[in-house]
Amino acid sequence: MAKLYIVPTPIGNLEDITLRALKVLGEVSLILAEDTRTSSVLLNHFNISKPLRSYHKFNEHQTVSTQVDYIEQGSDVALISDAGTPAISDPGFLLVRECIRRGVEVETLPGATAFVPALVQSGLSSDTFTFIGFLPQKKGRQTALQALSTECRTMIFYESPYRVLKTLKDLCETLGPMRYASVSREISKIHEQTIRGTLEQLVGHFTQNTPKGEFVIVVAGLDYQSRLERDKKEEDLCEEC
């Protein structure tokens, strides 16, 4: 029986793709791509020649049924995004849901996603965390921010270079200037960089340095922040002694 494959693609370095991903992409009948031009660069690099069909946030509602029809007719299909794992702040959820509803098998390959390395290298607690993705740009933004003011888990956000400073300022205002955070950009690319500090310090850094690239913001949860502040007070007392 034909199935849908969810295939992660590199978020930067093309060598991050897995051997299994290359095998699947070389064997399926059709590849659904967020941007066929971007995906063509990847496929050409690995000498994979397969039919490509656009599947993105602007057409997924209209085309999801057609894509599943194609699989039901007996053709394996792979879904890829421009970078990372489909359905993680990218199209994919609707397609997976419809396949499950119709009894079509879905196989998801492990692979690249930006928030995992950003979380690990942040130095913040990774025991429990919540992935927020992109905050609402307008409607619902303040409500979402206020809801996070009492969040005890480490919080992870995606952001574009055009809005990262605004988001840091909003987080600073809502969570407090001393909340510890980490900002990673261009993960797995030549100019990969991680900046750590308080939200106030990060606002200052990106006010003076124009943001470039795609960003992952990792922010300490309330419990971890309280521990940091308590440990800092104890260190100060020891120094005074």
Q: CA–CA separation, 162 vs 212, rounded Å? A: 8
Give the residue extent of every domain in the chain: 3-108, 115-229
Q: Which two tokens stand for residue 175?
A: 């969570």
Asked whether the predicted pLDDT for residue 237 surpasses 60, the reply is no
Q: First vs last Cα of the chain: how many Å apart?
A: 72
How confident is the model at residue 240, as a pLDDT?
Answer: 62
* Distance, CA of 26 to chain centre: 25
Q: CA–CA separation, 36 vs 22, rounded Å? A: 17
Q: Which helix (H) or strand (E) holds 41?
A: helix 36-45
Domain 115-229 has CATH 3.40.50.450: no
pLDDT band at 170 (very low <50, low <70, confident <90, very high): very high
More confident residue, 224 or 144: 144
Q: CA–CA separation, 156 vs 217, rounded Å? A: 6
User: What are the tens digits of pLDDT across the range 155-165?
Assistant: 999 999 999 99
User: What are the tens digits of pLDDT across the range 187-220?
Assistant: 999 999 999 999 999 999 999 999 999 999 999 9
Q: Given the DSSP bridges, would you call strands 77-80 and 215-219 parallel, antiparallel or unpaired?
A: unpaired
Query: Measured at the alpha carbon of residue 27, what is the angle toward residues 6 and 68, in degrees to the nearest 5?
Result: 50
Task: Pick one of 3.40.50.150, 2.130.10.10, 3.40.1010.10, 3.40.630.40 as the CATH number of 3-108.
Answer: 3.40.1010.10
